[in-house]
Amino acid sequence: MRVIGALVAVTAGIVPAQALARPHDDGPVVRDHRHESDSTPVVRDHRSHGDSHDASAPVVRDHRGNSSGNSSSSTTVIETTDVGYVSSPESSSSGPLFSDTGPSWTLEVGGLARRFQGPAFTRHGMFADGDAMTPYTLTSPSGDTAGGAFALRATAPVNAHVYVGAELELGGLTRSPIQLMSDAPDLQIASKSMVGTAAVAGVRARQGIFEIGGEVAGGVRILSTSIQPYDYTEEDASATEAVASPVIETRLRAAVWVHPHVFLGAQVGVGVLDHTDRNIGFSLGIASRSYARR
């Protein structure tokens, strides 16, 4: 009986050791390390202090063994600041525009409305009508001006919360105090256009699909006025006068991500140099990386 008891004890000690020493396959193995009393999975951070990764960012690691026979290339392990985000060939976007491994950028198109104090100016010129030269004066006090524009902007993230970019606005004036004075009764202001360009820098924060941020934009706005005769044809002459003014704005922006690479944006802004300069705009944007990650 003593011999049988000794054999049982030796067998119990050897079998677990052999099971632990068994080599693993290449395939993924899902292991449940929960306590028997737990009812939900628990995400644990097994990083060591010696890792080269940012200590504040969770790291998705591949703990698969080598015994299942599945290919280890079925999942792309990435470092991310969002717990639970794992990129895989089935879920990640691919192609020349959308890639979580390529350059990160966003592109937006939309429209905006502006109301501001137009610059005060006076312009004198000569209008050529055949062989005749007609003088004119284009003048404007600093008065209430309004307009709408098509907006195009591109940005690139500096880090998870800071971005820089540039924008372009093309539109026209719907209200302006610009007046034309001339001895020729058939001259008129044919159009009033507005062109603006600016560099932007801002900060943003995202929670789920919602994003909010603030930014500063600085650039130049050009108001252009075209003068033509009432019965203008393509063969007739025309004159154009333009005036430029600096613009600095602070803005509040918000976005809703309807897809990891597509978002709807809105903004409101106010001028720093001209506090009556206000704008509101809406846009549709795309991002090369999911949620415009760096």
Q: Where are the domains of the chain?
A: 1-92, 106-292
Global pTM value:
0.65
pLDDT computed for residue 184 by the predictor: 76
User: What mean pLDDT, rounded, does the chain reach?
Assistant: 78
- Split at pLDDT 50, 70, 90, the class of 237 is confident
State the CATH architecture for 106-292.
Beta Barrel (2.40)
- Split at pLDDT 50, 70, 90, the class of 234 is confident
pLDDT computed for residue 292 by the predictor: 93
pLDDT computed for residue 24 by the predictor: 47
pLDDT computed for residue 43 by the predictor: 57
pLDDT computed for residue 220 by the predictor: 97
Phi, psi of 44, deg, nearest 5: -115, 145
Give the mean model confidence (pLDDT) for residues 171-197.
Answer: 90
Whether the predicted pLDDT of 125 surpasses 70:
yes
Whether the predicted pLDDT of 205 surpasses 60:
yes
Question: Is the pLDDT higher at 229 or at 34?
Answer: 229
pLDDT computed for residue 212 by the predictor: 98
Whether the predicted pLDDT of 155 surpasses 80:
yes
DSSP code at position 59:
B
Angstrom distance (rounded) from CA 56 to CA 49: 11
- 17-54 per-position pLDDT tens digit: 444 444 444 555 556 655 555 555 555 655 555 444 45
- 130-148 per-position pLDDT tens digit: 677 888 899 999 889 999 9
Phi, psi of 218, deg, nearest 5: -140, 135
What proportion of the chain, given as a percentage, has pLDDT over 70?
A: 66
Contacts 24+ apart (CB under 8 A), 57-66: 57/81, 58/83, 60/86, 62/28, 63/31, 64/24, 64/26, 64/27, 64/28, 64/29, 65/24, 65/25, 65/27, 65/29, 66/23, 66/24, 66/25, 66/26, 66/27
pLDDT computed for residue 17 by the predictor: 45
Angstrom distance (rounded) from CA 200 to CA 198: 6
**Dihedral of CA 24/30/35/36: which sign?**
negative
Give the mean model confidence (pLDDT) for residues 105-127.
Answer: 93
pLDDT computed for residue 40 by the predictor: 58
- Split at pLDDT 50, 70, 90, the class of 238 is confident
Question: Is the pLDDT higher at 89 or at 96?
Answer: 96
pLDDT computed for residue 88 by the predictor: 40
- Split at pLDDT 50, 70, 90, the class of 186 is confident
- Split at pLDDT 50, 70, 90, the class of 60 is low
